[in-house]
Amino acid sequence: MRKDKVAGRAGQLYGTVAGLLAAFIAGLVVLEQIGVPQQILGYLFVAATLVLYAGIGIASRTVHVTDYYVAGRQVPGVFNGMATAADWLSGASFIGLAGTLYMLGFDGLAYLLGWTGGFVLVAVLIAPYLRKFGAFTLPDFLAARFGGHAARLTGVIVLFVCSFTYVVAQLYAAGLIASRFLGISFEAAVYVGLGTVLVCSLLGGMRSITWTQVAQYLVLIVAFMLPVTILSAQHFGMPLAQLAYGEALEQIAALEQQMLASGLADPDTLVRHLVPGEALDPLNFTALVVCLIIGTASLPHLLMRFLTTSSVRDARRSAGWTLFFVLLLYATVPAYAAFAKLEIYQNVVGASLEALPGWIYTYGRLGLVEICGTAASSADAVREACTAVPDNAGVLRLGDLSIDRDVIVLALPEMAGLPYVLAGLVAAGGLAATLSTANGLMLAISNALGHDVYYRTLDSRAPASRRLLVARLFLLATAAVAAIVATSRPSDILSMVAWAFSLAASGFFPALVLGIWWKRCTTAGAVCGMIAGFGLTLAYLVMTQYGGMAEWYGIRNTSAAIFGVPVGFAVAILVSLVTPAPSRHVQAMVEEIRKPAGTPVMVDGAS
Amino acid sequence: MTFDGKPGMSPQRRRWRRTIALALVTLAILAVFALVVPFFAEPLNATRVAGFPLGYYMAAQGSLVAFLLLTVWFIFRQERLDREAGVAEPEPLDAGEEL
């Protein structure tokens, strides 16, 4: 086996990257002190990190099929954990999640529980077995286990629908960040983000993406932790924000009571931060946690990362490492939400309309902060809008203020009066989270089209070079379409992300789990189960969102998989039982993937 | 324990039975921390631990850490099962070509 030069020296290389990053941040702090304008600092941050990613992408370019699809299967467990964490932590996690906790209070924690608990499922039920199988893509596994084109093409459709929904949301987030910090138009920003994604994924496929994602993880975790650590040390005398925000929670609860007593908050609309059931009823909370957990264990761009490790043992361990690395970020999110909420309850709500902090207008101009129903673009605009509101006494009430949830993380450094460098760092981190996820998604889609549709279904004699060329052409086409959709600003990004989870869960989870854990599961059973589960979830989403259908049992369509997954399982099991058992060959193959030792069932993506 | 099966069972078969049992136990613990504990957040909030309301803390961080510990425990147990049944992969140090 060829020895991967990057994999062998990864620890040393990324130690250097981390050192350079620290030196770079320190250098920018100095530049800010001597008066370099903020716009230039923002540019430097974004440009330097993009050059870093592109450089890694170019340095690890490849012409080998195994490198392109599964990074040569030589990624050590720890680094695969880091890369998978970057793959996983999207714009929605980095930018949106703290804002969601800010809005929904306790009920937003469903996202934290779901997006971490899912990795237990990955480690126990799926990752080690997929790795032993030795496929290149998820549809590859379905095709070999369930034979023929039906399972493969159903898998490709499910993969395409859920990954594409997700990739559009990422490009949208990239556009949001770049337009705020680079001052370029939203549309241009989407294409700038797209360009770097393409450099990484076009040249080296999975190999480039893996090593870029490791760097992106370092950038995003530093960017997420640093502001909140400084804030915590300043306000609570304790740099560990994850342990210090308890005090902020107490103060928030006390301020809520004060605001209710003084009439600044309306008891009907105030979401109490610590109380469950204020935004989601217990049934919806539980359904959302279940759907996110199962969705985590079914998203193709995540699962294909576990195909890159050098052994089954490493695949399992790297699921544990991934959980560790995502936990570092997720355990910090509640602190962000608490600090931001405390800041706003203390210094914004109840303030005179004449004396609002400057960050309100910075984001108001982007249309992300609204006061009295209009964008808070300037003090005059706010005064004008609020005089039109009945019984306004020139003081900002909680109900007058409406903040877009994506602002919380981006604006926290400015809210707390930290140096602008930290705001730039957060933007670079948000961009890292967004681009790394977009990279993974884009590769998942183009691999499915290039490998599963073109090579496996249309032209099985295509030479390796042409297969890679076609995979890259599909990548370009996918990227172009995704960018066009993103620049049209589809509404409600967070719902779209939750939909992607529900669609993946109902489409893939029953077929994957039964395919590995139940030898008797037949081709007809798996295909019918996928179609039934996926179809039901898709129909529920579309009918409740656009068709005016009433929700079943009051379950929101973001948790649509709560119906789709059980139906998928039931159909797959029932149909399997009435169709003849799989051949002895297939049953032996299932036996084989249950044992870590021995050679994989497929070698270089061929059985 | 029924999952251990009959005495004459092959090591591989017994390992698979135990793997299933381990998976079920792990998933049950997952469900407790992901679903049951948050369900009782309101009564748990009455208790304060290190300045945190316990119900909020568990859903925000406590259960997450429990997931990590659970995964580490699971990996440890599963690797031991594999070794005992003789189906574990060779350690990377033994097999030079693996690196």
Q: Do A380 and A325 reside in the same domain of the chain?
A: no
Alpha carbon A182 to chain centroid distance? 23
Say whether pLDDT at A148 is over 80.
Answer: no
Contact A597 B12 (CB under 8 A): no
Q: Could you tell me if residue A403 is inside a domain? A: no
Q: Could you tell me if residue A168 is inside a domain? A: yes
Check if B97 contacts A (Cβ < 8 Å): yes
Q: Do A283 and A189 reside in the same domain of the chain?
A: yes
What is the spatial distance between Cα A549 and Cα A210, in angstroms, rounded to a whole number?
Answer: 43
Q: What is the SS3 assignment for A387-414?
A: HCCCCCCCECCHHHEEECCCHHHHHHHH
Give the mean pLDDT of A286-291.
94
Assign residue A218 the CATH number of its domain: 1.20.1730.10
Check if B60 contacts A (Cβ < 8 Å): yes
| pLDDT at position B92 | 63
Q: Do A219 and A141 reside in the same domain of the chain?
A: yes
Give the mean pLDDT of A144-163.
89
What is the spatial distance between Cα A159 and Cα A478, in angstroms, rounded to a whole number?
Answer: 13
Give the model confidence (pLDDT) of A364-392 as tens digits.
Answer: 887 888 888 888 888 888 888 888 777 77
Half-sphere exposure of A527 (CA within 13 A, CB side): 17
Nearest chain A CA: its distance from B59 CA (Å): 6
Check if B99 contacts A (Cβ < 8 Å): yes
Contact A597 B98 (CB under 8 A): no
Half-sphere exposure of A268 (CA within 13 A, CB side): 0
Q: Where are the domains of chain B?
A: 11-86
Instruction: Point out the residue among A286, A317, A597 whose CB comes nearest to the CB of B88.
Output: A597
Chain A interface, mutation test: which of B61, B78, B99, most A Cβ atoms within 10 Å?
A: B61
Nearest chain B CA: its distance from A6 CA (Å): 12
Say whether pLDDT at A582 is over 80.
Answer: yes
Partners of A369 in beta bridges: A403
Partners of A309 in beta bridges: A75
Residue A176: which of A421, A494, A481 has the closest Cα? A494
Q: Do A361 and A335 reside in the same domain of the chain?
A: no
Q: How many residues does chain A have?
A: 607
Q: Do A334 and A374 reside in the same domain of the chain?
A: no
Q: Do A333 and A356 reside in the same domain of the chain?
A: no
A124-162 per-residue burial string, b: 16 or more CB within 10 A, e: under 16: bbbbbbbbbbbbbbbbbbbbbbbbeebbbbbbbbbbbbb
Partners of A375 in beta bridges: A370
Nearest chain A CA: its distance from B91 CA (Å): 9
Q: Which of the pair, A486 or A250, is modelled with greater confidence? A: A250
Give the mean pLDDT of B3-24.
83
Q: Do A264 and A140 reside in the same domain of the chain?
A: yes
Give the model confidence (pLDDT) of A454-468 as tens digits.
Answer: 788 787 787 877 877
Question: Residues B41, A106: contact at Cβ < 8 Å?
Answer: yes
What is the spatial distance between Cα A574 and Cα B28, in angstroms, rounded to a whole number?
Answer: 25
Q: Could you tell me if residue A410 is inside a domain? A: no
Give the end of a domain, one of A492, A525, A541: A492
The full DSSP string for A346-386 is: HHTTTSBGGG--HHHHHHHTTT-EEETTEE--SHHHHHHHH
Question: A17 lies in which domain range?
Answer: 5-339+418-492
